[in-house]
Amino acid sequence: MTLFPDDFLWGAATAPYQIEGAWDEDGKGPSNWDWRAHHTTCIAGGATGDVAVDHYHRWREDVDLLRQLGLNAYRFGIAWARVQPDGRGAWNDTGLAFYDRLIDALGEAGITPLVTLCHYDIPQALVEQGGWINRDMTGWFAEYAAAMAARYGDRVRWWATLNEPVCIADGFVPAPDDPHDLAAVQHHLLLAHGRGVQAMRAVNPALKVGLVTCLWPAHAMLGAGKAAVIGKAGERLPCADGTGDGWGAFSPDDAAEAARQADAAINRAVLDPIFLGRYPREIRDAAVGRPIHDGDMAVIAARPDFMGINYYSRVVAAPTRRPDGGIGWRWVGPAERGAPHTTMGWEIYPEGLYDIIMTVHRDYGAPAILITENGMAHADTVDPDGRIRDPYRRDYLAAHIAQLGRALADGAKVRGYCCWSLLDNLEWDMGWGQRFGLIYVDDQTLRRTVKDSGWWYRDFLRRGPR
Rounded CA separation 389/290 (Å): 48
Active-site residue (options: 20, 347, 373, 427): 373
Active-site residue (options: 164, 257, 347, 427): 164
Nearest to 219 by CA among 128, 357, 319: 319
Q: Give the burial string for 23-38 (b: 16+ CB within 10 Å, else e).
A: beeebbbbbbbbebbe
Helix (H, G, I), strand (E, B) or coil at 79: coil
Range list of H helices, 225-304 = 252-263, 269-271, 281-284, 296-300
The helix (H) or strand (E) run that includes residue 403 is helix 391-409
Q: Is 128 tagged catalytic?
A: no
Q: Going by C-beta distance under 8 Å and a sequence separation of 6 or more, which residues neighbour residue 385?
A: none
Nearest to 13 by CA among 161, 197, 204, 212: 212
Helix (H, G, I), strand (E, B) or coil at 414: strand
Q: Going by C-beta distance under 8 Å and a sequence separation of 6 or more, which residues neighbour residue 249?
A: 224, 321
Q: Is 164 tagged catalytic?
A: yes
**Residues in a beta bridge with 21:** none
CB 441 within 8 A of CB 423: yes
Rounded CA separation 356/383 (Å): 37
**Residues in a beta bridge with 10:** 417
Sheet holding 327-331, edge to edge: 236-237, 228-230, 218-222, 315-321, 327-331
Length of the chain: 466
The catalytic residues are 164, 373
